[in-house]
Copies of this chain bind each other. A is one copy, B any other.
Amino acid sequence: SVNPDLAIERQTASFSVEKLTTWLDGGVEQTRLRRAVVEAIERDPVFSRENQYFQSQNERYEAAVRNAVHLQKKMNEMGWSENGPEFKYIYRAVAGEIAFLLHRVFMRSVSMLGSDEQVAKWIPLASQYQLIGSYAQTELGHGTYLQGLETTAVFDVTTQEFILNTPKISAMKWWPGDMGRSATHTVVFAQLYVHGKSYGIHPFIVQIRSLQDHSLCPGITAGDIGPKMNFEHIDNGYLMLQNVRVPRENMLNKFCEVQPDGTYVRRGSQKINYFTMTSVRISLISGEAILPLMKACTIAIRYSAVRRQSKLKPGEQEAKILDYQTQQEKLLPQLATAYAFHFIDDYLQELFDRGYREIQRKNFDTLPELHALSSGFKAVVTQFCTSGVEICLRACGGHGYSLLSGLPSLYTKIIASCIYEGENTILLLQTARFLIKCFMASSTGQPIPPSVAYLAAVKPGNCPAKNKLDFLHPDIYTEAYQHVAVRLISSTAAKLQDLIQSGVKKHDAWNQCTVQLVQAAKAHCHYITVKNFAEIVGKIETKAGIQKIMKHLCDLFALYGIFSNTGVFLHDGYISGAQMDMVTASYLDLLAIIRKDAVPLVDAFDFTDKSLNSALGCYDGQVYQRLYEWAQKSPTNKQMSPAYGKYLKPLLHNRLSKL
């Protein structure tokens, strides 16, 4: 039965939860499909995550491999294919607890970087799992800066082979997923040398383990990199190569080839490589950042509607913690952020699809904009979502700290998204470089891409708001965000120019501006997010109640951003101190309004209890009962610890002097 404290929250929803769910999914059919996939996966006991929080790294890995293999069977059974409409829901349904994700990256690399012959040879083997692939790029000593990779591949013209080596310890491949224990093959990125000349980084297919008995191939040293903050289910690995020879045909050669005599030929454009990174960054935003934040909000908000602590009014029952302003101020902005980013994800997908169509027509003009936006949003979304999950965790007090709440795992996993696929600070600086370039171009009247067109149309003046209600006008706050973005970009551009003119070298000047460049890039993404949210809200039609609550959330997201970054709005007086007090007042008012719909708003994310895997977040709100039941399953309760016989009993039964 549902805890009455949670049931009552659902009775007063100002909108239809089901309608909001289908709207978020993109239609009734999508919702049906998603639920069908999730149900099929969750009904299958093989995929159960019931014991996940009690498992060792070894057990997690074994389960992930089991899931990956079983998923192939399941897909056959269900008639799902990798290109089918169900596929995108599978990862959500297994909650990421699955191996062979890098096998897929292996296949993608071969498809994109390999010649037709190479694709014809390797893709059928890989898709039939006659090999298990991985992707070995990162080294112990090099991550983001690919040019610095130290692994070498020397062409031996006499045998028509490449000889791969790990010349020093920092050149060891380190981190590649699926490589520590599973992979039989991997794509190794190495510095190519032909006749003593260096040609830069190239990809080579290398077999690392025997297809017969999985033993390591000659010259290969490989293993697991050991325990991590999370991702225990993935065998991130290391790889050392000692005179490993691969045939000439194993260099992926769609864009460049070493001919039998050692002649190096480059063909086609490598620009498309940026597009791969762009695609990966955009695709991870939803599953690795926004969904975890939505889950964390669901858990924390349901728990806060059930947890009672202390009294708001003397003589009354203890209050739900969700009724405290401080608790609302922790959780509700995170909820609004989850919605805001859900819409940004749509925005980026659309931009990406449009760009992709252009690229297919060999038009690469949109690449810089796409690269800049995907980099900046990857950084901003993962950063906001990570800190949002942390806030949710801490807002649940002690119980949030128990693994059984589900929150620690969400946090320890999402924090990695700030680092992988491009460290966030580096990414923001790439966005900043694009912004500065566009700003300079616009100031000399050159055309600039649509997403930054606002840089050319700077309006003078201050914020026109006269009372707190004015700050609920999207025009008012969107323009404030725009103003700040323009100001930070233009002032940093000016500082950069001043430094250069005063004689500082270009690279030093850039380095001396990077803290402010990062701020500027963030402000740009923040502005786009607010603007996009406001536009979405403006377009919602008819759906009873949904428009209204989305408007509240959009307002909250925008005002929260101002409230928590007051300085950048106050700096040049665009918003005055008195106006900032109005922002604060409207912001705090909104908390009380949205609080009423908080539970329906997380219900609309439509997570099953199994997918949340949280004793605090279940739909029925029976948190204490579930914490108790789950704790009893812990291995720490399975038997008396050997510590009793070894240490406690001797201690208790003897005098201390006998120790």
Q: Which residues does A use to contact B, with CB under 8 Å?
A: 53-54, 56-58, 61-62, 65-66, 68-69, 72-73, 76, 128-132, 138, 140-145, 148, 169-170, 172, 174-175, 180-182, 184, 211, 214, 223-229, 235, 238, 307-310, 312-314, 318, 323-327, 329-330, 390, 393-394, 397-398, 400-404, 408, 412, 415-416, 418-420, 423, 425, 429, 505, 507-508, 511-516, 518, 565-573, 577, 580, 584, 588, 624-625, 627-628, 630-637, 640-644, 646-652, 655-656, 659
Contact = CB atoms under 8 A, between A and B. Distances in A.
B128 A655 contact: yes
Given A61-B641, A326-B518, A394-B418, A624 B170 contact: yes
B224 A636 contact: yes
Contacts of A400: 419
Contacts of A68: 647
A-B pairs, 6 with minimum CB distance: A566-B567, A226-B634, A567-B567, A224-B636, A229-B408, A227-B403
B69 A651 contact: yes
A175 B401 CA distance: 11
Contacts of A415: 390, 393-394, 401
A37 B514 CA distance: 44
Given A128-B656, A144-B310, A224-B636, 10 more contacts: A56-B635, A57-B636, A62-B646, A131-B652, A140-B624, A143-B398, A145-B318, A313-B507, A401-B416, A512-B588
Stoichiometry (number of copies): 2
Given A624-B140, A636-B235, A643-B61, A404 B226 contact: yes
A599 to B, nearest CB: 19
A515 B141 contact: no
Q: Do most interface residues of chain A lie in helix, strand or loop, or is the interface mixed?
A: helix
Nearest to A184: B652
Contact of A66 (B312, B569, B647): B647
B646 A226 contact: no
Given A56-B56, A61-B641, A588-B515, A402 B635 contact: no
A181 B628 contact: no
A54 to B, nearest CB: 6
Contacts of A397: 143-144, 419, 423
Nearest to A54: B227
A62 to B, nearest CB: 4
A310 B404 CA distance: 42
A224 B627 CA distance: 11
A547 to B, nearest CB: 28
A577 B573 contact: yes
A647 B651 CA distance: 46
A76 to B, nearest CB: 7
Nearest to A420: B398
Contact of A238 (B182, B223, B227, B628): B628
Contacts of A138: 398
B514 A324 contact: yes
A143 B425 CA distance: 39
A108 B223 CA distance: 49
Question: Taking each of A225, A393, A633, which has the highest tally of chain B beta carbons within 10 Å of its own beta carbon?
Answer: A225
A394 B419 contact: yes
A175 B572 CA distance: 50
Contacts of A637: 223-224, 226
Given A144-B310, A505-B313, A651-B129, A403 B224 contact: no
Contacts of A62: 641-643, 646-647
Contacts of A235: 636
Given A567-B565, A588-B515, A627 B140 contact: yes
Nearest to A517: B326
A631 B180 CA distance: 11
Contacts of A570: 566-567, 570-571, 577
B643 A65 contact: yes
A325 B511 contact: yes
A626 to B, nearest CB: 10
A515 B325 contact: yes
Contacts of A182: 643, 648
Contacts of A419: 394, 397-398, 400-401
A398 B175 contact: yes
Contact of A227 (B129, B130, B402): B402
Contacts of A402: 225-229
A523 to B, nearest CB: 13
A565 B217 CA distance: 57
Contacts of A651: 69, 72, 129, 132
A391 to B, nearest CB: 11
Contact of A571 (B214, B401, B566, B628): B566
Contacts of A65: 641, 643, 647-648
Contacts of A327: 425
Contacts of A508: 312-313
10 contacts: A76-B656, A145-B310, A148-B318, A170-B624, A175-B398, A211-B652, A229-B408, A313-B505, A329-B515, A567-B567
Nearest to A232: B636
A73 B648 contact: no
B144 A429 contact: no
Contact of A326 (B324, B398, B515): B515
B429 A643 contact: no
A324 to B, nearest CB: 6
Contact of A404 (B128, B227, B634, B636): B227
A289 to B, nearest CB: 15
Given A140-B628, A408-B229, A624-B170, A129 B652 contact: yes
